[in-house]
Amino acid sequence: MRQIVLDTETTGLSAATGDRIIEIGCVELVNRKLTGNNRHLYLNPERDSHEDALKVHGISNEFLRDKPKFAEIADELLEYLRGAEIIIHNAPFDVGFLNKELELLGRGPITDVVDNVVDSLVMAKEMFPGKRNSLDALCGRLEVDNSGRTLHGALLDAELLADVYINMTRGQDALLIEVETTDEAVTTNEVPRIDLSSIVLPILVASEDELAAHEAVLAQLDKSTGGKTIWRMAEKTMA
């Protein structure tokens, strides 16, 4: 499965009132593994950033003057995102800005191009109800090093979010099994038989602490999927 962790920086908070995207950062995951096939773009927003926004991202208006406009990179960006699942922290904000940029070009919304949009903020609120779930808070909680994050930056934030997402969904990688079949394996008819009758295997019983830790992980995975994990559904069927 191909996923793109995406973040933007903008001139302000409202795409509806004319704020624009100034930076886009994308980090690619394939089968939950970082590929290094990332994208990082600075854009000329054709307007100045609000003073409060400048304090957040620190990207000056002068720096952006000679950067390409969104119209110039739209095709490249859409082709890169095409067919992928997009992971965004507080997705409505970034998706709203992307859709506005596309609307200005007479194009349809980003959901016409991507396979799905996952909001990692919604996931975090379900996993950690009642707690702060900003990107910095999640980095601290999930032991992701964000010491280099003094200002917001789209690529750095996307890289941090990729690590946060992988940690929030840990255990799923065991479900992604790639089966490679070789011609030799297909054409082999005889499997050597080994007599195991004389071998006694020791039985290692889990301790109470290990059982409790195991149940905690299962409960976390169960909660993140809304009670749709196979083992919970099987328990309900057997009950």
Dist. CA 160–CA 45, nearest whole Å: 25
Q: For residue 163, what are its two tokens?
A: 């690590």
Sequence-ordered strand ranges (E) for the chain:
2-10, 21-30, 33-34, 39-42, 85-88, 116-119
Which one of 50, 57, 152, 214 is the catalytic residue? 152
Residue 152 among the catalytic residues: yes
Q: Which residues of 111-149 are buried (b: 16+ CB within 10 A; e: fewer)?
A: eebbeebbbbbebbeebbeeeebebeebbebbebebeee
AA identity, residue 230: I
Contact 87, 165 (CB under 8 A): yes
Q: Which residues are marked as active site?
A: 152
